[in-house]
Structure 1
């Protein structure tokens, strides 16, 4: 059985929780030439009061502007538009618009905290939804800027505020040019006609502030284009964004497919049979104790089938199924760990002869190596580059005598083969 004191939650009171229909704890948060903002508490919650400054409270022009602002904002019940609940007389401040209190930072302050791109994209989506809601009711905000976009402390959600310059078709008065430098559209500075493209221009400026990358920079440019070339509405902006995203996704998918194909090709190419790729393998056969592999061109790579030879002669050519292959290579690990091997003779008539990594590693009893070729025998190849130490063990340089054609003796002594202490000409 649970203890009684663990059966339920508790409320820890830190104040008297006084409720009142009057505004309390009023604090001025902004004071301008024509308006002022206050934070106040009523019925256990915080509110924003937007009042006229003392000099403007009795002037019909500003009272009518206040009424217009309230009428426009009050009609919206949208999660990303700050709500205006009532227009009330407040002792000491006159008539005030009573609005929801938004606990957070404005967009400019929030961006200074360096939020992640995912959060900035979320803010843009919510702001676009809010503007689309305004325009669906023929309302133009006319003062979109970072200072009028609040980001809530909890959840980082958008709240669009300040409808002081907002306009709609149903009003015939108060359509003077207005806005904020850096965000107001060029035509809005001089024209009295309200157009939702005024907000589209300002939104483009905000998109630039959000720094979302190339795709959104393109959107911002279309938003800030001259009036006739500008995106006409939010629906067009969304459509353009989707089209750009589809193109980007298509390009990404194409690039990914190409990279996958290249990777698959690379994996296939790098599959190894004793160190060599299997691609273009056209023949593999064994003659005596030597296995031959050809990748085309009637040339072949040689390798011991079983490490049990004392003396090995690798022929210059070998015939199989009626075809003659020139031996041009000792493959990877071709004689590795043949501890019986004492003498190896490599003969070559091909254009090149190369010995690849691991060829004589572990051949502890090797004493003589003959390279009988009219061409200089290479260490590694153009495709499979390797140092001479990857072919031989350290003791081979002292224990093994290297025999080469007399005409090439000095060439070998000046090359990487010079690590061998004993290099002698072949005696016919």
Structure 2
């Protein structure tokens, strides 16, 4: 190698090897095989046909169709397709980024918090929203096709081998994996985003995150006409729920604070002025609580009827709110005289009763 006295590297000083090295088999499927390989100091995944299928036109077209679909995708929760090459010793293959992580089913066998599992599910929902926006249906969504990165615990959807879109007129056939495939996919080949929504429900159910997410999974797995129409509706449903849940502690704190401040201020006043101040404080508190309860009203949606699962979930939440208010009231009145305790208890009970009456749940109905 030549050296340069100027301190700069010249083109003659080095050469770059563009070949793949350290090619090792990772996975062998029905008709494809995946290799891990290194180039330019980075790891990649090479997806190619098994040797016995390389001369079969159907499998060649399937692999090419997967490439055509996946190369158009660019999303942080989707494994990136880099190109198509004829690699010596491997053959024609799809070049994809390598993900250091584990499949979601393996991830679930380990100990992870609910928030960690929710982050993965939300990543999958975001990716589905993106591909559905491109009129693409994955058709094989399952835990094994969702990688969770070792760094950050983020979701990465992979394997678009069975994916389809309206723009293709070839290779139309029912497809999917047992236990995650939607019922209609067993007989129909027309891609529908609700196919993926059903599979998403199965994935969420397996994650077993909470009562709400299990309820959400059940709604995703209803008959096609009763499912969410699109993934955006699922995101909106989750956001509304989270707004309500985040408001519950604030509501409890506000009720206790309003009563406590009112009683403290009453102690500094005399005569009829006490009653005027107490009424003013309660009126102001009601206005603030009305704002806090907007997410719950939005979740119920003013419907005359709700599902039995929704009714059970919301009844439980409302019951828990009442119990927490009582506990907080007992804690607040600890050490007070009997008159003060009675004032606090009555004020909080009446306040809570009025709130619950205003947001009474509609009648539940059993759905198919």
Taking structure 1 as the reference length, the TM-score comes to: 0.57
- Greater C-alpha radius of gyration: 1
Alpha-carbon offset, residue 25 of structure 1: 0.6
Structure 2 match to 1:141: 138
CA separation in 2, counterparts of 1:242 and 1:263?
Answer: 28
**Which residue of structure 2 aligns with residue 206 of structure 1?**
203
The match for 1:360 is: none
- Matches for 1:18-417 after TM superposition, within 5 Å: 20-249=17-246, 257=255, 259-260=324-325, 263-264=328-329, 267-268=332-333, 270-272=335-337, 277-279=338-340
CA distance in 2, matches of 1:127, 1:166: 16
State the 1:183 CA deviation. 0.5
Contact 2:333 2:341 in 1 (8 A): no
Which whole-Å deviations, capped at 9, do the CAs of 1:279-330 have from their partners, x for residues lacking one?
A: 599xxxxxxxxxxxxxxxxxxxxxxxxxxxxxxxxxxxxxxxxxxxxxxxxx
Instruction: Report the structure, 1 or 2, having the larger helix content.
Output: 2
Larger mean Cα displacement after TM superposition, 174-183 or 247-256 = 247-256
CA distance in structure 2 between the partners assigned to 1:102 and 1:134 by the alignment:
20
Change in 2 beyond 3 A, CA 1:266/1:110:
closer
Give secondary structure in 2 for the equivalent of 1:55. helix
1:40-62 alpha-carbon deviations (Å, 9 max, x no partner): 11111111000101111122111
Q: Deviation at 1:278? A: 4.4
Q: 1: distance between equivalents of 2:73 and 2:127?
A: 10
- Contact residue 19 and residue 44 of structure 1 kept, 8 A: no
Structure 1 unaligned blocks of 5 or more: 1-16, 282-428
Contact 1:70 1:97 (C-alpha < 8 Å) held by counterparts: yes
Paired with 1:125 and 1:260, the residues of 2 have a C-alpha distance of: 32
Equivalents in 1 of 2:33, 2:328: separation in Å? Answer: 65
- Residues 230 and 52 (structure 1), Cα distance of their counterparts in 2 relative to 1, 3 Å cut: same
Structure 2 CA distance for aligned equivalents of residues 179 and 143 of structure 1: 5
Is the CA contact 1:19–1:42 (under 8 Å) kept in the aligned structure 2? no
Task: Answer yes or no: is the 8 Å Cα contact 1:269–1:278 preserved in 2.
Answer: no
Residues 31 and 18 of structure 1, relative CA distance in 2, 3 Å threshold: farther
Tell me by how many angstroms 1:263 deviates. 3.9
Say which structure, 1 or 2, has more relative contact order (CA 8 Å, 6+ apart).
Answer: 2
Structure-2 change in CA distance of 1:142 and 1:186 (3 Å) = same
Range that drifts further, 221-230 or 170-179: 170-179
Provide closer, same or farther for how the CA distance between residues 34 and 270 of structure 1 changes in structure 2, counting only shifts above 3 A: same
Change (3 A) 1:248 1:71: same
Unaligned runs of 5+ in 2: 1-13, 256-321, 343-368
Task: Tell me how far apart the structure 1 counterparts of residues 59 and 251 of structure 2 sit (CA, whole Å).
Answer: 59
Give distance in 2, aligned partners of 1:267 and 1:41: 64
Distance 1:19-1:30 versus aligned 2 partners, 3 A rule:
farther
TM-score by length of 2: 0.66
